[in-house]
Structure 1
């Protein structure tokens, strides 16, 4: 103790600390380092932090791995993107929490909707293994686990099968996909604020790219916790199409991989959200006989107790037709890029003589595979919701361009929410720094 006090008095204590740090640095940089292989019993070496992960030695990609609680014999479902003309035998290799398991043959299920493009959304089903409670999985061209350990693994999600009363969200909206320089800030803000008023708690956006103002808006909503942005760099892996016909639009995959993101979003929220709405960023699924979506769905579910998929008609509101009074032509919104949906109250009557697409509200636990306008495989019944109960408000270029204003239907449903909607939109734009004072 006397020596210690003498060192402090003589101000040699800082020198002592410096010497100790020097010794620590020496040992850190000179002692042999353990190799990744020495920790294989603790954790997989490569774990992907990307939304699109290439499968080694193939032309395929993994997107998300999910514990499958509904199918007997299947342990994990991997949502993937496969090149249709290049399918080869693949093996599921699991990391079982304390050990690796040799690969088991994967069951490859390519979705029926691909519209003729080279790449298709694909489910890969991995079988149950005895004595394995997997935390990570990968796809490999060889069954030997030692060889597969150099592959990139996905974390398995949905490990816990939660009950509805445990879900984080009641209603989640899945938007896909955002690409190009899309910068429709005002319409997106109005739609998000409308969804809040309608009872939605969570909105998911798969984003390849967008305009700078919309990027700021989405960041603001993300910080708030209402929006989740999933990076979707599909253009780094292939040439995505901007359309649905390869002969007309070219590219390798339909609409920037829209079918894949819809399926992935369903599985992401299978045990997080009671309902999932599958629609586009410029569409609003709106109830017409109820104030909120929860009120509407409670009634529809009682009327259709076995229904799991609810089809909602798409109704076009031409952006070329304006409400004549200029009631919502607000000066504060004039410099905000995008469409003001409150100015467009005229609705086309769908031509039921031809195919009329719908979007969906689904209970995700009943969906196995989905397309854009209908599910491909599901475990329950499908119900078409009457348009007077609910339909989509879709403000865009007219579908039936020859119709005059007199031939359109006046539809002011959004105006019913005016008192809360207008100030909420102002606050959201101000918060994102997109509204001039």
Structure 2
């Protein structure tokens, strides 16, 4: 999730927006409703707008940003839920916290296909107290591809769900980190020249 100011509506008035990174079926047209928890846990509802990323590599599902306008009277939303307009909302919808409202010193991301417990154990041993492991469990919900194109690996979503994971890392780091690097684990960043 991320928040930003943007020119959003037809009158071009600046609004505060909350964005939720989602994985959506690209061929399906869905209208979304955003439920924001504001001061004193008051619920504010607004219509969400879905923008599907172009980098879906031809898979059925793709990464999307669902943009939720923050209504007036909601200065600092703390949680958000996004539901289909047709869904029955009975107060049992799970809310997501706004992760990038608390300042952190440093953020690191590692994409790994190892089981989360194995990755976490290795990172805690080598970098104690510095690393938080955020498990990515797309394969519980979709048949994720092991290839970067459909002809290189069947599935519904590109390469283990890498694009929503990278977007999540980027937006979690927004407003908190001066620099964010997203290198592949098989790539190295080396200087071209070295001054001695």
With structure 1 as the length reference, what TM-score do the two structures score?
A: 0.39
Instruction: Look up the match of 1:233.
Output: 137
Instruction: Look up the match of 2:10.
Output: none
Deviation at 1:115, TM superposition (A): 0.7
Of the three residues 51, 56, 61, the one matched with 1:109 is 51
Change in 2 beyond 3 A, CA 1:79/1:119: same
Taking the aligned partners of 2:194 and 2:138, their CA distance within structure 1 comes to 39
Higher helix fraction: Structure 1 or Structure 2?
1
RMSD value over aligned CA atoms? Answer: 2.8
Matches within 5 A, 1:153-232: 153-159=95-101, 168-169=105-106, 172-176=107-111, 178-179=112-113, 209=115, 216-225=121-130, 227-232=131-136
Taking the aligned partners of 2:105 and 2:6, their CA distance within structure 1 comes to 21
Taking the aligned partners of 1:159 and 1:218, their CA distance within structure 2 comes to 25
1:82·1:119 contact (CA, 8 Å) conserved in 2? Answer: yes
Deviation at 1:143, TM superposition (A): 8.5
Taking the aligned partners of 2:133 and 2:117, their CA distance within structure 1 comes to 14
Instruction: Look up the match of 1:130.
Output: 72
User: Is residue 67 of structure 2 the alignment partner of residue 67 of structure 1?
Assistant: no
2:116·2:133 contact (CA, 8 Å) conserved in 1? Answer: no
Change in 2 beyond 3 A, CA 1:105/1:216: closer
Deviation at 1:91, TM superposition (A): 0.5
Stretches of structure 2 lacking an aligned partner (at least 5 in a row): 8-13
User: Is residue 152 of structure 2 the alignment partner of residue 254 of structure 1?
Assistant: no
Which of 1 and 2 has greater Rg? 1
Taking the aligned partners of 1:216 and 1:140, their CA distance within structure 2 comes to 35
Taking the aligned partners of 1:135 and 1:83, their CA distance within structure 2 comes to 28
Taking the aligned partners of 1:98 and 1:254, their CA distance within structure 2 comes to 40
Taking the aligned partners of 1:256 and 1:79, their CA distance within structure 2 comes to 16
Taking the aligned partners of 1:224 and 1:106, their CA distance within structure 2 comes to 37
Matches within 5 A, 1:287-366: 287-290=191-194
User: Is residue 44 of structure 2 the alignment partner of residue 140 of structure 1?
Assistant: no
1:137·1:155 contact (CA, 8 Å) conserved in 2? Answer: yes
Stretches of structure 1 lacking an aligned partner (at least 5 in a row): 1-64, 181-208, 292-437
1:92·1:105 contact (CA, 8 Å) conserved in 2? Answer: yes
Deviation at 1:108, TM superposition (A): 0.4
Taking the aligned partners of 2:86 and 2:35, their CA distance within structure 1 comes to 7
Q: SS of the residue aligned with 1:243?
A: coil
- Of structures 1 and 2, the one scoring higher in RCO (CA 8 A, sep 6+) is 2
Q: SS of the residue aligned with 1:152?
A: coil
Give aligned pairs, total.
Answer: 189
Change in 2 beyond 3 A, CA 1:80/1:148: farther
1:140·1:148 contact (CA, 8 Å) conserved in 2? Answer: no
1:103·1:142 contact (CA, 8 Å) conserved in 2? Answer: no
Taking the aligned partners of 1:135 and 1:148, their CA distance within structure 2 comes to 20
1:241-285 C-alpha deviation (Å, 9 max, x unpaired): 111111331011111111111111111111221111111122221
